[in-house]
Structure 1
Amino acid sequence: MLGSTAKTAREIRSLRIQGAEAIASAAVEAMAAEAHASKAKTKAALLKELGQAANILKQARPTEPALRNSLRFILARGRQSDAAVPELKRFIVILARDYAKHSLLNKKKIAGHGGPLVPNNGAVLLHCHSSSVMRVLKKAHDDGKKFKVYCLETRPLYQGRTSAAELSNYGIDAVLCVDSCAETALLKMGRRGIVLVGADAVTADGDLVNKIGTAGVAALAYGYGTRLYSCTGSHKFDPLTLGGKSEPIEERAAEEVLTTADAAKWGFKRMPRVLNPAFDLTPASLVTGFVTEWGVQSPKAFVKRATAEYR
């Protein structure tokens, strides 16, 4: 097993690599590196090594169907191949390269479908950071639209700051907001505004699993009649939920919220228990639509097609 696979897993777990698309791409690259460096003499031995690498990578982020689906794709194609071991190793490397190209093409399609949703002379509210959402907003900006983007800072790791910086540097009017002013931002936006988020997973019920806090923002948006769209590739659909399995919600380290030094500073005599889930689940009823490479679809329509594709 290459040290690079363990390193990639650590970087995914620590959020040095974050965002479902980036995580899946990094995992596929790690698999390609494993195949290229393998000393395996038989197909069975090679696939066993790749399976072990895949398990290490999958365990780095439990709530990432894009990660699982990308690894399953590589392993399935490897099993289906009749190539001899040297050719199979090269085939895995080519698959990884093609996966990256396919992912980029899908992101461009999502941007093309999502750009028209951005209201000209209107406003958008974001929670967390999503590369797909960034592309949608940049496409709308490139098309000549003028709009303001409210970026919730997204504690405890402040991914919203990344969004605000990226948009501001691109020339888009970005406003960084504390998480607790989501309602204030919605009131400022009015009915012409929209909410855009990414996705870490989509269940068989059309429910959206995304950064903790998304469900609260969605409930507020629904109450104010503001549309909420999730911009995501179809590979975020989790086929494991078709059998009734719940999407796992990762619990992050307490130290992300309160370090021992901070606890002493605030007068804690002992460390308190900390609730720090990475994600929450937004019911499909609060999601206006999913913006994918297939277009803009209702949760029900998206699940129907995704089930046919990924079952």
Structure 2
Amino acid sequence: MVESIRQIANRISQLKIQGARNVAIAAIEALVKLSEETKAENKQEFLDDLFRAQTMLLSSRETEPLMRNAIKWIISQVEKSDGETINVLSKIVESSASQFLKNLEDSKMKIAAIGSKRIKNNSVVLTHCHSSTVIKLLTTANREGKNFEVFCTETRPLFQGRITAKELIKDGIKTTLIVDSAVRSIIKEIDLVIVGSDAITSEGNVINKIGTSTIALIAREARKPFYVVSELLKFDPATICGNYEKIEERDPSEVWKDAPKNLLFRNPAFDITRREFIHGVICEEGIIPPHSIFEVVNRKYEWIFK
């Protein structure tokens, strides 16, 4: 049981599972499997298993509030239930997981429908890294019959932008891949920027793949609208108390595998885009100004703050 959780945690930390949504789904599925295989004999032992799994999964990556919120939701449903038998508790985990996943998928569909309206015929869109929700938004606009094209950054050092490019051309969308440092050179050709999000703070700042904040600065300079696509469940409640989302530092080998000795590296996985550079957050509740994030999340997902 512990080994199966450790395997999932290792796959997440090694980026064999990547993307906030995919990481959260993997963690949810791991908890469901644990609940089916647990050797616990009572509710407290069952919860202890869940808490141990929570610790292992959350240590796999630092910047994953969606995973944290998913695990928090499932455990909270078990804690407040009247169930005592392991069979009943296991079913609560399964039903809570299904409910969370359905909400996640429904949010994705709503975001795609809302965000696709921002894409007009002959629009040129710039995106960064890989976001399944951004992909859904763009493919939705394509299926609506809109003629547009997309520029993708390659997204060093692991080239997630190539994943985006492959998925877009597969859907028949005209796509151009550029090196990350070319953004300022081509920004004059861009009509709007649409990026994903790994985390949103109580102030309305956004944590996303390294390079996002640079693109936001360039977009502001060029007076191009910069939109962030995000489920509200990526909100990090810890930021209310002044705790800043940790920025994960990745292995230097991702940057240069056969680097010369004594060369120092910095390889942050994410950066912070301040709310003043964000035109709007495209979420399941509509397109909202980033400074309204706390209010909207509190209204829709009150349990996050408990």
Name the TM-score class by shorter chain: over 0.9
Q: Indicate the residue corresponding to 1:211 in structure 2.
A: 209
State the one-letter code of the partner of 1:202: I
Give me the identity figure in percent.
37
| Residue-by-residue CA offset, 1:70-90 (whole Å, 9 max, x unaligned) | 010011011011112221112
Q: Indicate the residue corresponding to 1:91 in structure 2.
A: 92
Q: SS of the counterpart of 1:229?
A: strand
- Superposition deviation, residue 35 in structure 1: 0.6
- Superposition deviation, residue 3 in structure 1: 2.2
Q: Is the 8 A contact 1:239 1:307 kept in 2?
A: no
Q: Indicate the residue corresponding to 1:50 in structure 2.
A: 50
- Superposition deviation, residue 301 in structure 1: 1.9
TM-score by length of 2: 0.96
- Match of residue 266, structure 2, among 259, 270, 275: 275
Q: Indicate the residue corresponding to 1:198 in structure 2.
A: 196
Q: Indicate the residue corresponding to 2:10 in structure 1.
A: 10
Q: SS of the counterpart of 1:60?
A: coil
Matched, 1:306 2:297: yes
| Residue-by-residue CA offset, 1:206-259 (whole Å, 9 max, x unaligned) | 001000000000000011111111111001110000001111000000010011
- Match of residue 224, structure 2, among 223, 226, 230: 226
Q: Indicate the residue corresponding to 2:104 in structure 1.
A: 103
**174-183 or 87-96: which moved more?**
87-96
For residues 163 and 185 of structure 1, what CA distance do their matches in structure 2 show? 18
For residues 114 and 15 of structure 1, what CA distance do their matches in structure 2 show? 28
TM-score by length of 1: 0.95
State the one-letter code of the partner of 1:295: G
Q: How does 1:1-311 map to 2 (within 5 A)?
A: 1-85=1-85, 86-189=87-190, 193-259=191-257, 261=258, 263=259, 268=260, 270-308=261-299, 309=301, 310-311=304-305
Runs of 4+ in 1 over 6 A off after TM superposition: none
- Report the aligned-residue RMSD: 1.0
Q: Is the 8 A contact 1:38 1:46 kept in 2?
A: yes
| Residue-by-residue CA offset, 1:164-218 (whole Å, 9 max, x unaligned) | 00000110001011111111221122xxx11011101011110010000000000
Mark the runs of 5 or more structure 2 residues left unpaired by the alignment: none
Mark the runs of 5 or more structure 1 residues left unpaired by the alignment: none
For residues 2 and 120 of structure 1, what CA distance do their matches in structure 2 show? 52
For residues 54 and 69 of structure 1, what CA distance do their matches in structure 2 show? 11
For residues 203 and 293 of structure 2, what CA distance do their matches in structure 1 show? 10
Q: SS of the counterpart of 2:267?
A: coil
Q: Is the 8 A contact 2:116 2:141 kept in 1?
A: yes
State the one-letter code of the partner of 2:64: E
Q: Is the 8 A contact 2:213 2:271 kept in 1?
A: yes
Q: Is the 8 A contact 2:112 2:137 kept in 1?
A: yes
Q: SS of the counterpart of 2:88?
A: helix
